[in-house]
Amino acid sequence: MNSFYISNISGSSIQLNANESKHCIKVLRLKKGDMVQLMNGNGSLYKAVIQDPDSKKCLLEIVEEEKFQSTRNFRLTIAIAPTKNNERFEWFIEKTTEIGIDRIVPIICQHSERKDIKSERLEKILISAMKQSGQTFLPELASLISFKEFVNSTFDGIKLIAHCESGEKRLLKNSVLPGKNILILIGPEGDFDPSEIKLALEKGFIPVSLGNSRLRTETAGIVACHTVCLINEK
Amino acid sequence: MNSFYISNISGSSIQLNANESKHCIKVLRLKKGDMVQLMNGNGSLYKAVIQDPDSKKCLLEIVEEEKFQSTRNFRLTIAIAPTKNNERFEWFIEKTTEIGIDRIVPIICQHSERKDIKSERLEKILISAMKQSGQTFLPELASLISFKEFVNSTFDGIKLIAHCESGEKRLLKNSVLPGKNILILIGPEGDFDPSEIKLALEKGFIPVSLGNSRLRTETAGIVACHTVCLINEK
């Protein structure tokens, strides 16, 4: 069944926006009476029937709702510097959505080569990866924020920073506790600046290592995400 | 320092092939007396000086050799069906090389949508990822082989198959023992055929699950690789 993401679903009658109406009627060629699936990215799946196959404002009637609870008892946030190459960041977004992430915070660091993101495009990738991997919860993509502002914000859980400077570091896998909220900072291609690492440590972040390999930024993000999921896997 | 991969290095005098000579002299504009790094993909790093900066057959003199031992006490082989989209398979190759893999075997399954690979291009990606991640061992890319022929070959270690059919399966993380050689089979977009799963089980492969998420083929490969590396991480 074709599925559509709509962030706010209330009532039993839903109108698709212009883009999705066009996709539904002109591209998929669905007709009155055809059934589609709607998802709100917050655990609910709906079955809906096309009432008015208008290619600009397609009208649907919800006939069934199924509410899923998250099977995770922890929240994973990764704050990461977008890569110079957009595509590499998009892969990070897609892969961590498949593997399991709750919140992605793009951060601007001193050594960041990219200081903007294409939020709309990234949202589409999130939605597509959520659908494709059969999940019902959409990870949150936060607004771009400076490293300094972000590390000064509060977080209820274990705060970690994966930097490449030498010094005492535990392995990430030994720093994660099952069932605990985790926040991990991943730096840009040129790593965090020493002053940023110092600030993070002052703010209670614990330095961690992702192992012996020198990983690209997006690989570090994927590996960090998977490590946390694996430790929580039952 | 610019580095070049040469699979067979013997003696102290080395001639780059036409492609690499051109890259070294025309692109990088290196001159007589300049120092470069050579790697043989088998743990050895060499420092070499340009003797004759010929853009078709550049001649180098090795002045120093450093031999590294592998820090891994296990070998990881992933036999995987190449994805329909070439780029996704290339990402699998790049990411697993960064994370740590010994052998990649492209397999043709009944539901494979792709039945060929561009070996030369994939080799370049392997070499580039090895250099970029600061490793000295080049993973082996085996020739394309049919699923049936591959599962009939011998393997000294734990043999696993990650399929999506229902049935009793342990989590991969509970099926890997540190220090043991591991072989994991990953199927194509449409999963293995039931007859293939049956054959693999007859040949001693143990069915494993990669968790609750529905992963794309290349993501499954990356996640499987990282799980094995993480369990062996000290």
What pLDDT sits at residue B41?
95
Distance separating the N- and C-terminal Cα atoms of chain A: 30
CA distance A76 to A53: 40
User: Does the structure show a pLDDT above 90 at B107?
Assistant: yes
User: Which residues have CB under 8 Å from B57's CB, separation 6+?
Assistant: B15, B16, B18, B21
pLDDT of residue A142 exceeding 90, the answer is: yes
Q: Of B64, B52, B57, which Cα lies nearest the Cα of B20?
A: B57
Q: pLDDT tens digit string along B65-90?
A: 999 999 899 999 999 999 999 999 99
Inter-chain CB proximity A95 and B222 less than 8 Å: yes
Mean pLDDT, to the nearest integer, of B140-149?
98
Which residue in A71, A171, A226 is closest to B223 by CB distance?
A226
Q: Give the whole-angstrom CA distance, residue B111 versus residue B196.
A: 10
* Helix (H) or strand (E) segment spanning residue B80: strand B76-80
Q: Is the pLDDT assigned to residue B234 strictly greater than 90?
A: no
Nearest to A216 among B98, B213, B222 (CB): B98
Tokens of A133: 């991997």
CB contact under 8 A, B213 and A100: yes
Going by pLDDT thresholds of 50, 70 and 90, the confidence category of residue A234 is confident
Query: How confident is the model at residue B144, as a pLDDT?
Result: 97
Query: A135 to chain B: which residues are within 8 Å by CB?
Result: 213
> Per-residue pLDDT averaged across A29-36, rounded?
96
Measured between beta carbons, which residues in chain B are less than 8 angstroms from residue A219?
95, 98-99
CA of A157, closest CA in chain B: separation in Å? 23
| C-alpha to C-alpha distances, B191 to B63, B90, B153, B159, B161, nearest whole angstrom | 51, 19, 21, 18, 11
Measured in angstroms, the CA of B114 and the nearest CA of chain A are apart by 20
Kindly report the nearest CA distance between residue B117 and chain A, in angstroms: 22
Domains of chain A, CATH where assigned:
3-67 (2.40.240.20), 76-232 (3.40.1280.10)
Q: Given an 8 Å threshold on Cβ–Cβ distance, is B216 in contact with A71?
A: no
Query: Residue A228 has what pLDDT?
Result: 98
From the list B129, B78, B76, the residue with the least C-alpha distance to B104 is B78
Mutate to test the interface with B, among A213, A227, A229, A234 (most CBs of B within 10 A): A213
Closest residue on chain B to A220 (Cα): B99
State yes or no: pLDDT of A181 exceeds 90.
yes
Q: Summarize the confidence of residues B135-163 as an average pLDDT.
A: 97
The verdict on a CB contact (< 8 Å) between A215 and B99 is yes
Given a cut of 90, is residue B10 above it in pLDDT?
no
- Bridge partners, residue B206, by sequence: B160
pLDDT cut 90: percent of chain B above it? 93
**For chain B, the helix, strand and coil percentages under 3-state DSSP, each to the nearest 5:** 30, 25, 45
* pLDDT higher than 90, residue A10: no
For residue A212, pLDDT over 90 is answered with no
Residue B8: its pLDDT value, please? 87
Residue A74 has pLDDT above 90, yes or no: yes
Question: How far apart are the CA of A129 and the nearest CA of chain B, in angstroms?
Answer: 10
Contact criterion met (CB < 8 Å) for A219 and B98:
yes
What is the average pLDDT value for chain A, to the nearest integer? 95
What is the reported pLDDT for B219? 98
Q: In chain A, which residues touch B (CB < 8 A)?
A: 71, 91, 95, 98-100, 132-135, 171, 173, 211-216, 219, 222-223, 226-227, 229-230, 233
Q: In the block, which residue shows the tokens 């559509």?
A: A4
Tokens coding B203: 């040949």
**B205: pLDDT strictly greater than 90:** yes
Identity of residue B155: F
The CA distance from A5 to the nearest CA of chain B, in Å, is 18
Does B95 contact A132 at a Cβ distance shorter than 8 Å? no
Q: Whole-prediction pTM value?
A: 0.94
Rounded to the nearest integer, the mean pLDDT of chain B is 95
Query: B165 CA to chain A: closest CA distance, Å?
Result: 16
Q: Find the mean pLDDT for residues A92-108.
A: 98
